[in-house]
Amino acid sequence: MYQTPELRRDRGLADFWTGRLAGTDLLNRDRISSITILLTYRCPATCDHCIFESSPRNKAKVDVAVARRLIEAASRQNPPPVVGFSGGEPFLRLKEMRELVLFAAERGMISEVISSSAWVHDHAQARAVLADLLACGMKTYCTSVDRFHTPFVKAAKMRTAILAAREAGLHVIVNTQKDESMHYGGDDAIVAYLAATLDLPESVIREFQVNPLVTTPVGRARDMVDDYVYDPSKDMNEGCPMATEIVTLSPYGFLYPCCGMVLGEKPETAGLFIQDDLGTRSVDEIAAILEELKSDLFFKILQALGPYRLLMELKRRNPAIAVRDRYVGACDACLEFTANPAVVEEARAYLQECAQRLALDAA
């Protein structure tokens, strides 16, 4: 059945995952739960860890017509995904965001926004803006609160945004980048940090959804951050549930079937991750792309095995490949598939072999 010499030489990854996974594991993960639109890379802040190297000078912004076509196409999914807005600072494009929130709501899609809260002036203004967005179809307000943001955005603005969002009736999420003491101190240390920073009681912090995040060496962080948390007990052998489930549109019009750190890499090195340039694509074409990405072999493998196990399999296949010896997490391991040309080349060859094998299996 397996006729080509190359495939006999190394059945490789196909054996690797068929030996460990039921076929249904690869077939059932076909839901797009969220599309994220990076409205702009411009931002009033210049945080040290920013993966997009956002700043007041970065002018890249999404074409609203492209964003509308993506929302329209995504609304054909069943159930339709949530629409997320981020950046850069998405509130720098409040008018366009409001228009897109309404456009999504008309198609049965709810929205959420991730912001630094730099846009906040006072409680009344924040409440009015957020109440209006809620009325348009926004359901969630997420703000970042951590040691990287507070030098640029006053913690009082973050607190005002959180309280105004809660008062307006939005679901509130707090994203925070963990340092070592927060990582090893667990939930209590994270809550204590947020309570002290926001000047709010710990009981209030516990009412909100808190997402502790690990800082990853990509974008500006590569030069500006030196306190990454490399936890030796971290299980790197996990699949990525986000691959193809969360689809992101970059300000350059590129579609990524993930929401990870690879978005911060230069598009010319992120070819394995970029599904398409949506700049000239019609709604029908984008809808077809969204269907196709559900069976993209690379992302299926990332879902099932995770980037680290794929990386180790490539390394087993070609021991000459040099890879880093530690990663802060799965997205960090994924960066090898962008910034490491030898890994990219081996991955492309391997995916081609696996695709041939699967085609032969199906024949």
Q: Which of 26, 67, 92, 243 binds ligand SF4 (CB under 6 A)?
A: 243
Residue 260's identity, in one-letter code, is G
Determine the Cα–Cα distance for residues 337 and 345; give it in Å rounded to an integer: 9
Q: Which of 111, 116, 140, 160 binds ligand SF4 (CB under 6 A)?
A: 116
Q: Which of 225, 302, 304, 354 binds ligand SF4 (CB under 6 A)?
A: 302
Residue-by-residue DSSP string for 166-182? HHHT-EEEEEEE--HHH
Q: Which of 170, 262, 272, 289 binds ligand SF4 (CB under 6 A)?
A: 262
Task: Report the nearest approach of ligand SF4 to the CB of residue 106 (Å).
Answer: 28
Task: Report the nearest approach of ligand SF4 to the CB of residue 200 (Å).
Answer: 20
Q: Is the dihedral of CA 158, 161, 166, 170 positive or negative?
A: negative
Task: Report the nearest approach of ligand SF4 to the CB of residue 337 (Å).
Answer: 8
CB-nearer residue toward ligand SF4: 47 or 142: 47
Residue 104's identity, in one-letter code, is A
The SS3 call for residue 124 is: helix
Task: Report the nearest approach of ligand SF4 to the CB of residue 162 (Å).
Answer: 16
CB-nearer residue toward ligand SF4: 137 or 212: 212
Parallel, antiparallel, or unpaired: how do β-strands 209-213 and 34-40 relate? unpaired
Find residue 27's DSSP bridge partners. none
> Which residue's C-beta sits nearest to ligand SF4?
260
Is 287 one of the binding residues for ligand SF4 (CB under 6 A)?
no
Is 304 one of the binding residues for ligand SF4 (CB under 6 A)?
no
Q: Which residue has the tokens 């054996």?
A: 15
Residue 276 — φ and ψ, nearest 5°?
A: -175, 165
Q: Which of 261, 289, 290, 310 binds ligand SF4 (CB under 6 A)?
A: 261
Task: Report the nearest approach of ligand SF4 to the CB of residue 45 (Å).
Answer: 4
Is 88 one of the binding residues for ligand SF4 (CB under 6 A)?
yes
Find residue 277's DSSP bridge partners. 254
Which residues, 6 or more positions from 221, have their beta carbon under 8 angstroms from its beta carbon? 48, 49, 50, 51, 215
- Output 282-285 pairs: Cβ under 8 A, ≥24 positions apart: 282/69, 283/69, 283/72, 283/73, 284/73
CB-nearer residue toward ligand SF4: 185 or 241: 241
The SS3 call for residue 80 is: coil
Could you tell me the end-to-end alpha-carbon distance of the chain, in angstroms, rounded to an integer? Answer: 9
Q: Are 290 and 75 in contact (CB under 8 A)?
A: no
Determine the Cα–Cα distance for residues 166 and 179; give it in Å rounded to an integer: 27
Question: Contacts with ligand SF4 in 34-73 (CB under 6 A)?
Answer: 43, 45-47, 50, 52, 54
Residue 142's identity, in one-letter code, is C
Task: Report the nearest approach of ligand SF4 to the CB of residue 308 (Å).
Answer: 9
Determine the Cα–Cα distance for residues 74 and 80; give it in Å rounded to an integer: 6
Is 259 one of the binding residues for ligand SF4 (CB under 6 A)?
yes
Task: Report the nearest approach of ligand SF4 to the CB of residue 244 (Å).
Answer: 8
CB-nearer residue toward ligand SF4: 54 or 75: 54
Is 129 one of the binding residues for ligand SF4 (CB under 6 A)?
no
Q: Taking CB under 6 A as the rule, which mask of x and - marks residues 210-239 in contact with ligand SF4? A: ------------------------------
Is 331 one of the binding residues for ligand SF4 (CB under 6 A)?
yes
The site for ligand SF4, by CB under 6 A, has a size of 25
Determine the Cα–Cα distance for residues 166 and 204; give it in Å rounded to an integer: 11
Is 270 one of the binding residues for ligand SF4 (CB under 6 A)?
no
Is 89 one of the binding residues for ligand SF4 (CB under 6 A)?
yes
Q: Are 61 and 3 in contact (CB under 8 A)?
A: no
What residues make contact with ligand SF4 under the rule CB under 6 A? 43, 45-47, 50, 52, 54, 87-89, 116, 149, 240, 242-243, 258-262, 302, 307, 330-331, 334
